[in-house]
Structures are given as structure tokens and as C-alpha cells.
Amino acid sequence: MALVTTKEMFEKSMKEGFAIGAFNVNNMELIQAIVDAAAEQNSPVILQASSSAIKYAKINYLMKMVEAAVEEHPNIPIAMHLDHGPDFETCKMCVDAGFTSVMFDGSKYDFEENIRLTKEVVDYAHAHGVVVEAELGKLAGIEDDVNVAASDAIYTDPAQAEEFVRRTGVDSLAIAIGTSHGAYKFKGEAKLRFDILKEIKIRIPNTPIVLHGASTVIPELVEMCNKYGGNIPGAKGVPDEMLHEASVSGVSKINVDTDLRLAMTAGIRKVFVEDPSAFDPRKYLKPARELIQQTVAHKMKDVFGSANKA
């Protein structure tokens, strides 16, 4: 099987009420851990790279490794997606390089400009058999180089969502209901606006909904980082129960990056502290890769409900 678009996996997710994890990648160990977890769980999976990840790893290396992952796991639907494409050129570069899905993130523009720019990307991508995710509303926190103060976070307006999808022809829509990027999502209790999600779903029942900034910030991983010399105090994410509720309430794609960063860092830190003489990278990258795989498998099986949906 070749790389697939997200079309069929999203159709299945909407029909059967589960979500597909979209996991950020920028190196070989992440890619291997994620697709091995998907194979172990017989789950569809989306690999995604941001423009800064592409700058770091280089698009050619990323695509060759993703192609290798597909060859290793021919029975698992794997999509390759651009996360937070900042402009038409970056989206075009990824379409031309063989990505099967791209996100154009026009959330920093006003409504009309977001529609105009998204439509340009949709026209190009669709002409090349590639699907497009767009974003409406603003997430609090830091994403790429855009910093939106928490107080300026703007929830997605359901009526605008309907108009946006109709006028752009976009394939999926990222919405803002209270999540944010990174390890510090909530000061007090975690709170998501499921009422807004419900309203959006009523207005665009056939459009897959995407949740960004949806890491759990798994307490065990934060503790492990801190235990082995890290300093990540007060980190807090979206609890598993809320992500499960989102998965059965019409969210089709759930983005996870922070939890993978924590797993990799925790695994490496542990080896460094327990065996200061270790300096063969395989000695610390192997356990780190295993911890990432466990983390991804847990999400697929226990939270998103995508296990056995390949």
C-alpha cells in the first residue's frame, strides 16, 4: 500500500465514532515508534511535520523515512500531513513532495482573508489529489512562530465554521474549543467547550473536525523527566477522559506532539542518570523509542478508539 489521504479514514471515523491520532515527527525514532504502535494496534495513523520540523529534518529525509515506514507496514493506512502550513508556497512544496494532506493555517488572518488564502491552497491541493485542513478560531499558546496570548484565544464560531467550509471546499477543519499547544495548557482545571463542538457538528456534520494542542501532558512522563534531572514544573494537558469524549463526539483527528517529546526526553534522561558511562546513542534512543511506542499505543487503544480500525 502507498501513503493514503485522510479521506477514507475520516469517513470511517465519523461513521463509527472514533478519532485518529496525528503525531508530529522530525526524526527516525519518532517515525518508527509511531508506525510500530499503529501496526501493533492495527490502527490508521497520521504522521505530520510542521514547517519547523521540515526545516530541521529536511523534506527529502522525512519523505524517504515515511516511505520506508509504509513499506514496512503495508496493511496500515498511513497519511503524511503538513502541520500548520504558514503559506501557499510551503503547502505547494509538500504537495509536490508527495504529502497526502496539508494544513493551511490562516487563523491569524481575518475571516475573509483566511477564506481567500485557504481556497488557493484547496484549489492547488485538490488538483493534485491532496486533501486540505484549515483552521478557524485561535488556540491559546505558542505554535510555530505565532504567539497568541491566552486572553486573546478566540473560540470557533459555529456559524462562521459552516460558511467557511462551504466557501473554501476544505476537507477538514481545526477548531478552537479551549486547547492550546505545549505543556502548559491550563492554570486550574482543564476545561473544553464541548457545547461549541456540538454546535459546530450540527452545522457541518460531514466535515471531519480536528483538535490541535491535544496532548495529555502525561503526568507519569513529566514525573519521569523531573525525577531524572529535568525541570518541568506545573505542566498540565487535556485529560484522557476529555479526549475520549471528543473522539466519540465528532472529532476525527487529534494532534499529539508534546506527549511524544516528553516520552523521548524521559527515556533518554533515565539512561543518562542510571548509566552515566553510556555514550552510544543506540543505548538511550532505543528505550526512548520504546517509550514513545507505548505512549502512542495507549492513545490508540484506550483513548482515541482507533485500535482495530485499520
Contact set with Zn ion (CB under 5 A): 212
Q: What is the dihedral of CA 127, 201, 309, 97, to 10 degrees?
A: 30
Q: SS3 of 90, please?
A: helix
Counting contacts by CB under 6 A, is residue 156 touching ligand PH4?
A: no
Counting contacts by CB under 6 A, is residue 50 touching ligand PH4?
A: yes
Residue 83 annotated among the catalytic residues of the structure: yes
Q: Which amino acid is at 183?
A: A
CA–CA gap between residue 70 and residue 4 (Å, rounded):
10
Measured between alpha carbons, how far apart are the two ends of the chain, in Å? 12
Catalytic residue among 83, 157, 171, 257: 83
Counting contacts by CB under 6 A, is residue 105 touching ligand PH4?
A: no
Q: SS3 of 251, please?
A: strand
Q: Which is nearer to Zn ion, 57 or 254 (CB)?
A: 254
Counting contacts by CB under 6 A, is residue 83 touching ligand PH4?
A: yes
**45 pairs with which residues across the strands?**
78
C-alpha cell at 148: 497568541
Counting contacts by CB under 6 A, is residue 143 touching ligand PH4?
A: yes
Counting contacts by CB under 6 A, is residue 213 touching ligand PH4?
A: yes
**Closest alpha carbon to 39 in 302, 254, 296, 303:** 296
Contact string 252-291 vs ligand PH4 (x = CB under 6 A): ---xxxx---------------------------------
- DSSP, res 187: S
Pick what 257 binds: Zn ion, ligand PH4, none; C-beta below 5 to 8 Å, kind-dependent: ligand PH4
Pick what 43 binds: Zn ion, ligand PH4, none; C-beta below 5 to 8 Å, kind-dependent: none
Counting contacts by CB under 6 A, is residue 78 touching ligand PH4?
A: no
Active-site amino acid positions: 83
